[in-house]
Amino acid sequence: MSTRTLGSTGVHVSPLCLGAMMFGRWGEPDHDACVSIIHKALDSGINFIDTADMYSFGESETIVGKALVGKRDDVILATKFHNPMHRTDLNKRGNSRRWIIKEVEDSLTRLQTDWIDLYQVHRPEPGTDFEETLRALDDLVHQGKIRYIGTSTYPATEIVEGQWLADRKNLNRVVAEQPPYSIFVRGIERDVLPTAQKYGMGTLTWSPLAGGWLSGRYTLDKVEPSTSASRLRSGSPGFDASLPENQAKLVAADALGKLAAEAGLTLPQLAIAFVLEHPGVTSAIIGPRTMEQLVTQLGADEIQLSQDVLDRIDEIVAPGAILDGMDSGWPLPAMEPKARRRSLA
């Protein structure tokens, strides 16, 4: 497998990054099965693994740690912090210095490693000063506990703020962003990807199969309910094909499936190859739950889509478009009603 440079760091990573969200109780509870998937990915040339403390509440990191015993030096390991790690304690979450310093130790223990290559802020936190977060991460770099700083699902404005802070305050800068990107979720083409390119940042994009919508399971004449697809409907109890957003995705998935077949590809191959065609993308995160899912996605990085195929994809889903706003990550606090309207009090 070829490699790409993670921004301007000089670190070489595989175009496919193995996402570990489905390892553990959220997906595959059998640790041995998960370790086998990880080893298969490594044997296939993937050298980049992404997980997070919150995935199965630490179980994913524990599984990854088991799989990397004796292999740690050969892997670029990324994990994340921010989300709640306790049901009621509000200090066991977020982007504060207090939590970062505590949680990095817990992640290092679960991962059975002395260092994390890329430590990422999983989401912005409006109530915490970005400088507070960046200074804590800068200290961890100097201590050797993390090598690089990353963010995930940050808007372009906050990406710029992070670069500004690092420059003005003489701190280690954010070197990578992890945004959502797929044929169905193309919003980052408008600003996030150009901003990351401008600052020499790497990007590892999540959900190239749009949460399962581009897996090939969904066509106009065959709709299979899926936990993954249902989850995208903001807590919806089940898949509802009558929703306008789902109808739009079904129509697009059907058209894309036919296009993939004409090109001699599977729909997952087309979807992942599309993401990797953007010059601003370093790696696409694939998140298999089973060995079969992994095998069907391996090799997508070797596919080069023709200009004709790319143009036809643009006709099905326009550049910069998002078919369902719920798929673009969590809602931005600035767009909440209380932030947009004056109080009536």
Query: Which positions are annotated as active-site residues?
Result: 55
Of 285, 274, 199, 280, the residue nearest 14 (C-alpha): 285
CA distance 258 to 266: 9
DSSP β-bridge partners for residue 76? 48
Distance of CA 137 to the CA centre of its chain: 20
Q: Write out the two tokens for 248.
A: 């739009």
Per the CB < 8 A criterion, the answer to whether 125 and 94 are in contact is yes
DSSP β-bridge partners for residue 174? 149
**Which spans in 213-303 are helix H?**
227-231, 244-262, 267-277, 291-297
Element (H, E) at 130: helix 130-143
Phi-psi region of 148 (alpha: psi -120 to 50; beta: other; left: phi over 0): beta
CA distance 61 to 42: 16
CA distance 42 to 16: 11
Distance of CA 214 to the CA centre of its chain: 16
Q: Is 52 helix (H, G, I), strand (E, B) or coil?
A: coil
Of 48, 102, 101, 39, the residue nearest 79 (C-alpha): 48
CA angle 93, 153, 329 (to 5 degrees): 90
Q: State how beta strands 222-223 and 218-219 pair.
A: antiparallel
With 0-12 CB in 10 A as exposed, 13-18 as middle and 19+ as buried, what is 63? buried
Output the CA–CA distances (angstroms, integers) from residue 263 to 208, 256, 295, 296, in the order listed.
19, 10, 20, 16
